[in-house]
Amino acid sequence: MTKAEQETARRFAERYRVAPAEVSRRVELAVIGGDWGANGYTTKAQADLLAARLGLRPEARLLDLGAGRDWPGLYLAAATGCQVVLADVPIEGLRAAAGRARREGLTGRAGLLAASARALPLAPATFDAVVHTDVLC
């Protein structure tokens, strides 16, 4: 991992280690329209637009790069029935994502990948679609 990636992992791990407070959940619902633990500005309406433009459907394989705690990839899996892999550098966000996937009954359709988008351990054409929201790698 580069120094920049290490710094990213440290900074976001601090944030994801702490579960969002109830007030944050209510703000997220009011501003974004969902309560999936978003850590950016992508709204539920924009996530729905992504799903439509990408043609996500039950057989589709989606990669969410820089998924943080799960947003929007896990929501897209819930909404469209697609398979998703949530990838990010700090493990803390992926832990939160695993918990939410369990609670939503999505463990069979949600994979977790701790890796940098700069060096993904994936074969070409593994996915039908890729999303990345509020991610600057």
Ligand X SMILES: C[S@@+](CC[C@H](N)C(=O)[O-])C[C@H]1O[C@@H](n2cnc3c(N)ncnc32)[C@H](O)[C@@H]1O
Q: Minimum Å distance from CB 8 to ligand X?
A: 5
CB 77 within 8 A of CB 84: yes
- Minimum separation from the CB atom of position 69 to ligand X (A): 7
**CA 98 distance to own-chain centroid:** 11
Cβ closest to ligand X, residue 66 vs residue 85:
66
CB of residue 125 to ligand X, shortest distance in Å: 20
Strand 61-65: give its sheet, edge to edge: 110-114, 83-88, 61-65, 129-131
The token pair that represents 110 in the structure block = 């949600």
Residue 90: exposed, middle, or buried by beta-carbon count in 10 A (0-12, 13-18, 19+)? buried
Q: Which is nearer to ligand X, 11 or 57 (CB)?
A: 11
**Shortest distance, position 9 Cβ to ligand X, whole Å:** 7
Query: Contact residues for ligand X (CB under 6 A)?
Result: 5, 8, 12, 38-40, 42, 65-68, 71, 88-90, 93, 116-118, 133-135, 137
Nearer to ligand X, 81 or 134 (CB): 134
Give the Cβ contact number of residue 20 at 10 Å: 19
Nearer to ligand X by C-beta: 42 or 59? 42
